[in-house]
Amino acid sequence: MTKPLVLVTADVKPIDGFNWHAVNATYLHAVLQGSDSVPLILPSLGPELDVDAALDQVDGVLATGSRSNVNPAIYGQEPTEENGPYDPDRDATTLPLLKRAIERGIPVFAICRGMQELNVALGGTLLTEIQTISGREDHRAPVSDQQDERFRIAHPVDVTDGGCLEQVLGSDPFEVNSLHRQAVGDLGAGLVMEAQAEDGTIEAMSVQDSCGYVLATQWHPEYWVSTDGPSQKLFSAFGDAVRAYREKRLGR
């Protein structure tokens, strides 16, 4: 049996005078190994791209993290130089992509920026530069040239009772990495919190009463998927969902 296909969202990176559409390879390996699916990079072409035509061909969507942030103007706030960089082509691609995937019942796993995109796509807001907000911890990555240090386990999260995340990981608190300056503010339509950090930062969410599998994490399970139990379980559950959707899509 052929394996499921998973769209992976991309950044636009200016390199050598050209715009490159790029994805951190850790996401691709996590889809391939963790969910036993074939990753396909989706270019961020904005309105030029027919997202429904792309979704017609696939069984899931992985919305990736990024150094860039969703432009605050989209959710009614003021963009600032401090809050950048921004990626308008990615915003114009991924926000409608996620909304349509949910409407169509296509499994979605959204990570870091992807989780923030999901919230904005459904009408929610973000908190920018949360390390400056009273009562919030500094959730940014450690300053290091070593990726293992930047992605090291940083703090515990508490799982919401009776939620989707509890079904995947159980109810016991566990620890996650942390590499973000933004966080979910007001939840978008239909979204519910699945986990939070000790300072109240929303660390995971899902779509209530969704017709398809939708889960988002603020942390980065893709980085430790080969060695960390919770990370493996998250990608395995996503893989189960995309295989089930593929069977339904192909009428099997």
Report, as residue numbers or ranges, the catalytic residues: 112, 220, 222
Which of 92, 130, 122, 102 lies closest to 218, judged by CA? 130
3-state secondary structure of 164: helix
Cβ(129)–Cβ(82) under 8 Å?
A: yes
Cβ-based neighbour number of residue 39 at 10 Å: 20
3-state secondary structure of 18: strand
141/178 Cα distance (integer angstroms):
6
Which of 198, 176, 50 lies closest to 111, judged by CA? 176
Phi, psi at 58, each rounded to 5°: -125, 175
53/238 Cα distance (integer angstroms):
22
Which of 178, 175, 173 lies closest to 136, judged by CA? 178
Given the DSSP bridges, would you call strands 60-63 and 108-111 parallel, antiparallel or unpaired?
A: parallel
Q: For residue 165, how many C-alpha atoms fall within 13 Å in the half-sphere facing its CB? A: 27
Provide the sign of the torsion angle of the four alpha carbons 22, 24, 26, 31, taken in this order. Answer: negative
